[in-house]
Amino acid sequence: MSPRRNSWIGGHPNQTVQQPPSFRRRGSVLVASVILITIAGLAVVSWLMFINDGARSAGRARSQAHAFYAAEAGVERVVDYFNNPSDFAGTPPDEYDEYETHPPAYLLSYPIQPAAYGFFEPYILDYAKDSDGKPINSDFEEIWDESGRRIISGEEPIITRFTYFRNSAGADPATVSLTSKIVSMQLDAAADSLLVMRDENGREQARVVSLEVQHPSELSSEELALATAERPIVCKVVAVGEANGVRVTVETMLTEIQSPFFHSPAAIISEAAVEFSGNFNVYWGEVWAHEDINLDNAILKKLPRLDPDNPDFEEPKGKNLGNDPWFRMRTEGVFKQGSKYADGREYDGFANSPISKLSNEDVYYMPYDADFLGKKKGKLNPDFVNRENLTQNSDLQFPHYDYDQWKEYFLAYDLPYYWTDTSGNIYGKDRDPDSNTFGQIVSKSYGDWFSIDPDDPDYNNYTDQFAFIDSVPVDNNGNPAPLVDGIPVLNSTYFPRNPAEPIARIPTIKVSGQSLHTRGVMLSAANMNMTGQGNPPRSDELLDENGNRLVLMPNGDEPPDEFKVFHNGFLYSWGTLAGGGNRTFYGSVYAVGGFGASGTPSVYYNVKMKDGSWLNVNQSRVRRNLWAVENGGAPAAEGEET
């Protein structure tokens, strides 16, 4: 036995056992390892917690995105409601049969057409009735949705679908009645409930949990101050989306964009000159010209100049325009005949025009001294019985059709939109060549576009009655910008086509020799040259969807003589309208760049175009403006856990 060992291990019984230093650190490696491992483990755990936080954050971001787009979908639903009220026909929903719905209690004072938007028209939901018509229970307290959340309180204009009715005691819905409350109409009549967004497997991703539409009267003064003259506020939409418990609130102001006002006060309107030649006829309406109207004998001789009992009376040649109580020619310039004033004097410019343009009064032009009157020259004044048919006005109220505004309107609402180039080629909105000529485009009338057949399923389709024909950008010499795949290539030497530019730069579309018979509004940024008419239908063949005649005189009577209708509608060009042939229009034609005609074209004015009632395009629409997003959700409803 080693004494040394004994001295350490064994030793004296009273001696304190002392271990050598290395023996005192016995197990220290293990301890150190454990400590290190513990530290490393803690670090890893911390790191994993950090990652986990990141994962939760990512998950929340995902849920927020889902909730945001659910809320967005809710807002879009409201936009759709305003812009397409027909999608929501039948509101309040059918299941409200047990409640009486009353007509709107008041009309709106702000510029939303009540007929188009019933959104804020309150309906009174009366007591539920029993079979005897007596209220079942007048102690109604609240309305709950299917999740048990209270959704209607008092007269809050919360828009949602009423899926459950029960009182606070959970009574059977059938026994619950609704006291007379004024609530806004329900929004969501077309779907089963407020929107629920699902993935392809049907799993719910997110849902709209609240959708409120606030009437302008409920908005704060700060919010109302956001309105502008151009964009009045229609309402404020507050949509709350929820995904995995994460709520996102989207608040959006909806403002109104009014469609450009469509009307035409005359059968023919020219913001430049008007040239009449041949047998051009105008019936049931007026001719307006900003500049001179050049008359020819043919049209003037259609106006009897003397009473029938006057010994010098002569029968009008051709149709008697004097018998047309609505016919009148108005010019802010002068009436001319060739190079002379129509009264026979040499034309020497504005200063010597027969009647000053400075007068605010309508003045009648009396061509009593005109050469074309022949032997009647100088004898007609003051017996010219139809002198009011030739009127000089100092200020005609031309309707203004803004190129940019209409273009935006057509593009915004996906109405038929085409391009043309200087050769008259037509390109569709998709920038692909659509057809070679305008005539071929319009000849789609045999299909569903511009159809005049009331049996056509798209006969009442609003969009099938419009066409906007734009023209390509040009340079200063009128040369069009080159097209690549139908898209004009713009650079500093080209500028977008503006019809206000010289007309020489405007391309011309030729329509000729085709048996076109169309209807609707055609707005053209190109000049239009039309000849020929083919064999369109007769005026008594044009019927509305109820079988009623479309072609009527301004007094509502049927015309004494039927005629063939080349186009039933409104034809507008920011360029010129010209051509010949015997085409006949029912409606109105309007040429900013001037109007010329030869042959025997005719225009029968549709008086419904005077106030735009001919085609209901004056439908206001809403647009989203000024929106805000709040992550974290809407204020909790009463009784809901926060």
Answer for the pair 391, 342: CB distance below 8 angstroms, yes or no: no
Answer for the pair 597, 267: CB distance below 8 angstroms, yes or no: no
Q: Which of 10, 15, 35, 37 binds another protein (CB under 8 A)?
A: 37
Query: Per CB under 8 A, does 271 bind another protein?
Result: no
Containing 621, the helix (H) or strand (E) segment is strand 621-631
Answer for the pair 211, 159: CB distance below 8 angstroms, yes or no: yes
Closest to another protein by CB, 6 vs 153, is 6
CB of 455 to another protein, least distance (A): 22
Task: Compose the 179-208 pattern: x for residues touching another protein by CB under 8 A, - for all others.
Answer: ------------x---x-x-xx----x---
Residues 462-481 close enough to bind another protein by CB under 8 A: 463
Q: Which of 403, 413, 446, 627 binds another protein (CB under 8 A)?
A: 413
Beta-ladder partners of 417: 468
Containing 405, the helix (H) or strand (E) segment is helix 403-412
Compute how many other C-beta atoms are within 10 angstroms of the C-beta atom of residue 355.
16
DSSP 94: G
Query: Per CB under 8 A, does 29 bind another protein?
Result: yes
Strand order in the sheet with 527-531: 340-341, 335-337, 293-294, 274-275, 595-596, 577-579, 527-531, 508-512
CB of 594 to another protein, least distance (A): 32
C-alpha closest to that of 74 among 246, 242, 244, 224 = 242
Given the rule CB under 8 A, which of 35-43, 209-217, 504-512, 631-639 is the region that contacts another protein? 35-43
Quote the CA–CA distance of 251 and 239 in Å, as a whole number: 6
Closest to another protein by CB, 8 vs 495, is 8
Q: Which of 73, 194, 370, 591 binds another protein (CB under 8 A)?
A: 73
Query: Per CB under 8 A, does 510 bind another protein?
Result: no
Query: Per CB under 8 A, does 83 bind another protein?
Result: yes
Answer for the pair 248, 71: CB distance below 8 angstroms, yes or no: yes
Q: Which of 4, 132, 632, 642 binds another protein (CB under 8 A)?
A: 4
CB of 75 to another protein, least distance (A): 9
Query: Per CB under 8 A, does 61 bind another protein?
Result: yes
CB of 443 to another protein, least distance (A): 21
Closest to another protein by CB, 33 vs 101, is 33
Query: Per CB under 8 A, does 504 bind another protein?
Result: no
Query: Per CB under 8 A, does 51 bind another protein?
Result: yes
Containing 627, the helix (H) or strand (E) segment is strand 621-631
- Strands (DSSP E) contained in 446-576 are 466-471, 483-484, 487-488, 508-512, 518-524, 527-531, 567-573
Q: Can you tell me which residue has the tokens 């969009």? A: 463
Answer for the pair 104, 121: CB distance below 8 angstroms, yes or no: yes
Quote the CA–CA distance of 503 and 626 in Å, as a whole number: 40
Query: Per CB under 8 A, does 414 bind another protein?
Result: yes
Query: Per CB under 8 A, does 40 bind another protein?
Result: yes
Interface size with another protein, residues (CB under 8 A): 51
Query: Per CB under 8 A, does 403 bind another protein?
Result: no
Query: Per CB under 8 A, does 16 bind another protein?
Result: no
Query: Per CB under 8 A, does 385 bind another protein?
Result: no
Q: Which two tokens stand for residue 24?
A: 């005192």
β pairing state of 340-341 and 328-331: unpaired
Interaction site with another protein (CB under 8 A): 4-5, 8, 20, 22-23, 26-27, 29-30, 33-34, 37, 40-41, 44, 47-48, 51, 54-55, 58, 61-62, 65-66, 69-70, 72-73, 76-77, 79-80, 83-84, 86-87, 191, 195, 197, 199-200, 205, 411-414, 429-430, 463
